[in-house]
Amino acid sequence: MAYAEAKQVESDVIPVVDITALRDGSDPKGVAQALHAANTGLGFIYIKGHGIPEHLIDAVRAKAFDFFRADTAAKEDVRIDTSHRGWLPQGGAKMQDDAKADLKESFVWGYQNDAGTLPDAHELRGHNQWPAAMPELQDLCMQYFTAAHEVAEHLMRGFALGLGLGADFFLKTSDAPLSRNSFVYYPAQDENAGKDQFGVGPHTDFGVLTVLCQDSVGGLQVENLDGEWIQAPPIEGTLIVNVADLLNRWTDGAYKSTPHRVVNSSGKERLSLVLAYDPNPETLIDARGVFGADYQAKEEPITCGDYLNWRFAKAFAHKKG
Ligand SMILES: O=C(O)CCC(=O)C(=O)O
Ligand SMILES: [Fe+2]
C-alpha cells in the first residue's frame, strides 16, 4: 500500500504574488495584473504581504489544537447545525459521491456583528456556536476571521481591477457575508489506508474564493492543467488562495477553479485555517456584470445564497434535514 502521489514541480507553477502594493494602494494595478494572470492559469496563488500578524495565526492555531484534543463530549456540545456552524466530525463531509470518507475533522464559524449576533437569518449564516469550556475562542476566532476577510476583500478588489472593472465590483453587497472560517484538522495518515484515502478528497471549493493558511507539515496537492497532481508545499509567511466555483461561474470560466486534495503522509498532525469567502446571499452572480450586458454566458445568473444552498445540500448530511 502507499499514499496517493503528487509530483514536486518548479516553484513558479503556483506563482507567489506580493499584495503589499495592492493593500497600501501604491500599485494596485501592477498587483492586479499578476493576480489576473494566476487566476486565468491554475487559479492557485501563494500570497505574500497579506498583513495577518504571525502572532495571531500562532494563537489561533494553538487554540484550534486544544479544541480538537478536547473530549468528544465537549465537541458534541457544538456539533454542526443546519446553518453549518460548529464541529464537523470525521466523515461528516462527502466531496465525491462514491469516495472513502475524508479523515479531516473541522470547526466552522462565520460572520457575526460586534454584538455577536446576525442582522437577519439565512440558512447558511446562522449564529456561531462557541464551546463553553473555551471562553477565549470566540474573540480569537473573530479576530482571525476579520483579518482573513480583509485579505479576501483586497484580493477581490485586485481581481476586479485585473478584469478591467471598478475596484469594488465584487464587493457591492458584502456587508453581511456568507463567508465561513474553519479549523481543519488532519490526523497523520496511515500508509496502509491506501491510495484512495485522503485527508480531504479531490474537490473544487464551492464559493467565490478560498484563503488558506496551511502549516509547515505539507500535504496539499493541486491538479495541474495536464491532469497531473502536483504538490503545493507550504512557503513560510505566505497564504495560499484559490478561485472557487462561484467565481469561475461569475467570470464565465475565465478564472479557474481547480481540483485539489490533501494527503497527510508526514506522520504528524496537520492543521489548516480556511476562510471560504462569499458575499451576501442576495448577490447576483451574473457574468454580464463582468463582460457587458450583451454577453452570452454559459450559465444562468443565480444568487450566491441559492447557489451555496444547492451545493451544501449535496455535500453535507447535516444540511439534508
Ligand atoms: O487544508 C488544506 O490544505 C486544504 C483544505 C481545503 O481544500 C478546503 O478546506 O477546502
Ligand atoms: Fe478546498
CB 241 within 8 A of CB 206: no
Q: CB–CB of 171/153 below 8 Å? A: yes
Strand arrangement, sheet containing 239-243: 16-18, 44-48, 239-243, 209-213, 270-277, 180-186, 105-110, 86-88
Mean pLDDT of 172-187: 96
| Residue 99: predicted pLDDT | 72
> Is residue 321 over pLDDT 60?
no
Per-residue pLDDT tens over the stretch 194-209: 999 999 999 999 999 9
CA 214 to ligand 1: nearest atom: 3
Q: Which atom of ligand 1 is nearest to the CA of 261?
A: 7
Stated pTM of the model: 0.96
Q: Return the C-alpha torsion angle 143, 146, 152, 153, nearest 10.
A: -150
Assign 94 a pLDDT band (cuts: 50, 70, 90).
Answer: low
Average pLDDT over residues 223-241: 96
The domain ranges of the chain are: 16-319
Chain CA centroid to CA 161, Å = 22
14-65 pLDDT per residue, tens: 999 999 999 999 999 999 999 999 999 999 999 999 999 999 999 999 999 9
241, β-bridge pairs: 45, 211
Residues 6+ apart with CB under 8 A from 288: 294, 295, 297, 301
The CATH class given to the 16-319 domain equals: mainly beta
Where would I find the beta strands (DSSP E) of 71-204? 86-88, 105-110, 180-186, 200-203
pLDDT at residue 96, rounded to an integer: 62
For 145-163, the pLDDT digits (tens) are 999 999 999 999 999 999 9
User: What atom of ligand 1 comes closest to residue 104's alpha carbon?
Assistant: 1
CA of 30 to the centre of ligand 1 (A): 28
The pLDDT confidence band at residue 318, using thresholds 50, 70 and 90, is confident
Checking phi first, is residue 201 left (phi over 0); if not, alpha (psi -120 to 50) or beta? beta
pLDDT above 70 for 320: no
- Give residue 28 CA to ligand 1 midpoint distance, Å: 28
What Cα–Cα distance (Å) separates residue 257 from each residue in 157, 207, 210, 233, 308? 18, 10, 10, 19, 15
Q: Which of 208, 84, 75 minimizes the C-alpha distance to 149?
A: 208
> Ligand 2 centre from 173 Cα, in Å?
24
- Kindly tell me the number of DSSP H helices and DSSP E strands found in the chain: 8, 14
